[in-house]
Chains A and B, each alone.
Chain A
């Protein structure tokens, strides 16, 4: 589609590991198909070790052995030119890095070189992609910092001299200084306290709107998704199990796993105990047959153990991978599901 900036088709990416003499294959990303439109914030939610981090490694074209792409394509369309980062050479990818495709990394504490001042990171990262003369470059950097309400003084600081929240804001400024069309944000708020988190989220929203970029926003925290994303994909054991506009996910989710995630969110005035799922997320090295959620699913049927449900289109831009997704669940039944989840 014309205004899709990213198209992922049938992506499979596995870790081939050799730990203490035992060969194993970990299917971290298993048959994922999705699109990201221009000028939207696309959320990816899932537990730790659900494969969401691996997925965005592919999106960021940061694939290192033993991780490798087995099948599928990851195509970006910047200025009308398609580039499939799953197959393009490092040279081609280097041309789009930071200028078009940038990245806000998890762990703001350690993403800046601890022994150099902040301005050297701006110079290393952005000088070449921006292609400006030195003075114009620094003017542009300071203008960008001002837009994000940051003092130009932070450029002269060392990373350890900044607070955690400040460092994350500097990182966001660094990731957006080239005005990229596509930004991948990997748990950018996870290590921060709630007040700072709110600031950082507002900042990301502001930059995204100012630049008109697309953002893929990854976090396990559903309340953050509720605050910032336009569309949301739920990932379980290496697969997207449900994808819909964020509002729909929170009001009319069809997958039992999504419903569980939504149900476990705290709500004002709600004092009932929150349900928790039995069991642990499956090992990606030996995922269960059929629907990967079935061992923990309260409404699993025989079919779920054998067949893999495909991610099917539903009205309203809703996609879901569950055999029982279409069974109209009455509110009473939903309640029943929630009880049995607890």
Chain B
């Protein structure tokens, strides 16, 4: 137990380091942005009606202070870190003066919901099928699935999503291809709204599952076909241990260890998937927000999304790391 706490503490420090590095990189990169939010807003305001030069000057001063641009870089950096702790990253440009963090928090549930469901589904289905394919190496059905997986695996995600839009949007329009819910349904906890959300999530989730499935399937199949040659599996077979038990407690159980690590790794790359998904299916999540913010030159929102992405991914990896030694007792020894 003490070992485990030390381990958890170490991992937690690592989590902090990852988050700190990630958001620092994000901050300094965004600092280099050539677009000044102050000038953008002034341009926007003064475009609508005439203002006196004094009014504009005082507006500029107020805005500079509001965006925290009136202090040197290092001070801005510490301000940024301090404000991040309380979840305040300043006003957005996209919907000035709505705080950037508020926009992010509105978009976050959509992305997390979509990603959590599709990632877990993909991981489960891919690993179960891959595990079976590795253990029953002579099954024709699973072999055929392997060939399909190898064929689908290298297709860029964007293509799959686009094909689904074409198929279900134009050729066989049975499912909604854009948005998070139907326009004519009022957001509430009504069954109607929930069904609408689910229906809208089917295609984006399906596209994510199809693309991710092959990788997990092939990885798990390779792992399992190695594990079945391990002595402890042969030995259990020689002892006449039931098939089901061998598959679950010996083969799958041992394959879970690296697959869980791989899941943590995969989470790091997951945001690239969701940004395209949300673009193609016009899904109201973080990805859409990020693209809009980039195009509008809204550095506060871009920074906020990047920080949330870093924190979310690092936390997910941290949680998986915590489960790890429970699955593999050997880790504690390290």
Direct contact of A and B (CB under 8 A): yes
Flag if B329 contacts A98 (CB, 8 Å): no
Q: Which residues of B contact A116 (CB under 8 A)?
A: 249, 253
B209 vs chain A, min Cβ distance (A) = 28
Q: A30-69: which residues lie under 8 A (CB-CB) from chain B? A: 60, 62
Answer whether residue A162 sits at the interface, using C-beta atoms and an 8 A cutoff: no
Task: Using A114-B254, A115-B327 as known contacts, say yes or no to A125 and B239 having CB atoms under 8 A apart.
Answer: yes
Task: Using A105-B231, A105-B235, A160-B329 as known contacts, say yes or no to A113 and B240 having CB atoms under 8 A apart.
Answer: no
Flag if A97 contacts B328 (CB, 8 Å): no
Give B190-202 as 1s and 0s: 1 = Cβ < 8 Å from A's Cβ atoms: 0000000000000
Flag if A124 contacts B238 (CB, 8 Å): no
Q: Which of B232, B237, B245 contacts A114 (CB 8 A)?
A: B232
Most buried by B among A97, A115, A116: A115
Flag if B249 contacts A103 (CB, 8 Å): no
What is the bound-complex CA distance between A295 and B250, given in angstroms?
46
Q: Who on chain B is nearest to A120 by CB?
A: B249
Q: Which of B236, B253, B328, B333 contacts A125 (CB 8 A)?
A: B236
Flag if B236 contacts A124 (CB, 8 Å): yes
What is the bound-complex CA distance between A97 and B238, given in angstroms?
7
Q: Which of B234, B239, B254 contacts A115 (CB 8 A)?
A: B254
Q: Which of B232, B242, B327, B333 contacts A113 (CB 8 A)?
A: B232
Q: Which of A98, A106, A107, A110 contacts B240 (CB 8 A)?
A: A98
Answer whether residue A129 sits at the interface, using C-beta atoms and an 8 A cutoff: yes
Q: Which residues of A contact B240 (CB under 8 A)?
A: 93-94, 97-98, 128-129
Answer whether residue A168 sits at the interface, using C-beta atoms and an 8 A cutoff: no
A187 vs chain B, min Cβ distance (A) = 12
What is the bound-complex CA distance between A272 and B209, given in angstroms?
71
Count residues of B near A (Cβ-Cβ below 8 Å): 23
B176 vs chain A, min Cβ distance (A) = 44
Q: Who on chain A is nearest to B327 by CB?
A: A115
Flag if A113 contacts B238 (CB, 8 Å): no
What is the bound-complex CA distance between A211 and B253, given in angstroms?
35
Answer whether residue B230 sits at the interface, using C-beta atoms and an 8 A cutoff: yes
A177 vs chain B, min Cβ distance (A) = 11
Give A124-164 as 1s and 0s: 1 = Cβ < 8 Å from B's Cβ atoms: 11001100000000000000000000000000001010000
Flag if A103 contacts B239 (CB, 8 Å): yes
Give B231-269 as 1s and 0s: 1 = Cβ < 8 Å from A's Cβ atoms: 110111111111001000110011001000000000000
Q: Which of A102, A111, A114, A125 contacts B330 (CB 8 A)?
A: A114
Flag if A115 contacts B231 (CB, 8 Å): no
What is the bound-complex CA distance between A339 and B130, given in angstroms?
59
Task: Using A105-B231, A160-B329, A160-B333 as known contacts, say yes or no to A113 and B236 having CB atoms under 8 A apart.
Answer: yes
Give A74-116 as 1s and 0s: 1 = Cβ < 8 Å from B's Cβ atoms: 0000000000000000000110011000110111001111111
Q: Who on chain B is nearest to A99 by CB?
A: B240
B53 vs chain A, min Cβ distance (A) = 74
Q: Which residues of B contact A158 (CB under 8 A)?
A: 329-330
What is the bound-complex CA distance between A116 and B230, given in angstroms?
15
A120 vs chain B, min Cβ distance (A) = 7
Flag if B253 contacts A62 (CB, 8 Å): no
Flag if B241 contacts A113 (CB, 8 Å): no
Flag if A115 contacts B238 (CB, 8 Å): no
Q: Which of A60, A107, A114, A120 contacts B238 (CB 8 A)?
A: A60
Q: Who on chain B is nearest to A125 by CB?
A: B239
What is the bound-complex CA distance between A160 and B334, given in angstroms?
12
Flag if A113 contacts B249 (CB, 8 Å): yes
B269 vs chain A, min Cβ distance (A) = 27
What is the bound-complex CA distance between A102 and B232, given in angstroms?
15
Flag if B239 contacts A98 (CB, 8 Å): yes
B5 vs chain A, min Cβ distance (A) = 19
What is the bound-complex CA distance between A174 and B47, given in angstroms?
85
Q: Who on chain B is nearest to A178 by CB?
A: B239
Q: Which of A60, A97, A112, A124 contacts B249 (CB 8 A)?
A: A124
Q: Which of A103, A120, A129, A160 contacts B235 (CB 8 A)?
A: A103
What is the bound-complex CA distance between A129 and B241, given in angstroms?
10
Task: Using A94-B240, A98-B239 as known contacts, say yes or no to A107 and B249 having CB atoms under 8 A apart.
Answer: no
What is the bound-complex CA distance between A340 and B212, given in angstroms?
67
Q: Which residues of A contact B230 (CB under 8 A)?
A: 110
Q: Which residues of B contact A112 (CB under 8 A)?
A: 232, 235
Q: Which residues of A contact B329 (CB under 8 A)?
A: 114-115, 158, 160
Starting from the known contacts A105-B234, A107-B231, A115-B328, 6 additional A-B residue pairs (CB-CB under 8 Å) come to: A111-B231, A112-B232, A113-B254, A120-B249, A125-B241, A158-B329
The 4 tightest CB contacts between A and B, nearest first, are: A97-B240, A110-B231, A125-B239, A158-B329
Q: Chain B residues in contact with chain A, CB under 8 A?
A: 230-232, 234-242, 245, 249-250, 253-254, 257, 327-330, 333
Q: Chain A residues in contact with chain B, CB under 8 A?
A: 60, 62, 93-94, 97-98, 102-103, 105-107, 110-116, 120, 124-125, 128-129, 158, 160
A-B contact pairs, 13 of them (CB 8 A): A62-B238, A97-B239, A97-B240, A98-B239, A110-B232, A113-B236, A114-B254, A114-B329, A116-B249, A124-B239, A125-B239, A129-B240, A160-B333
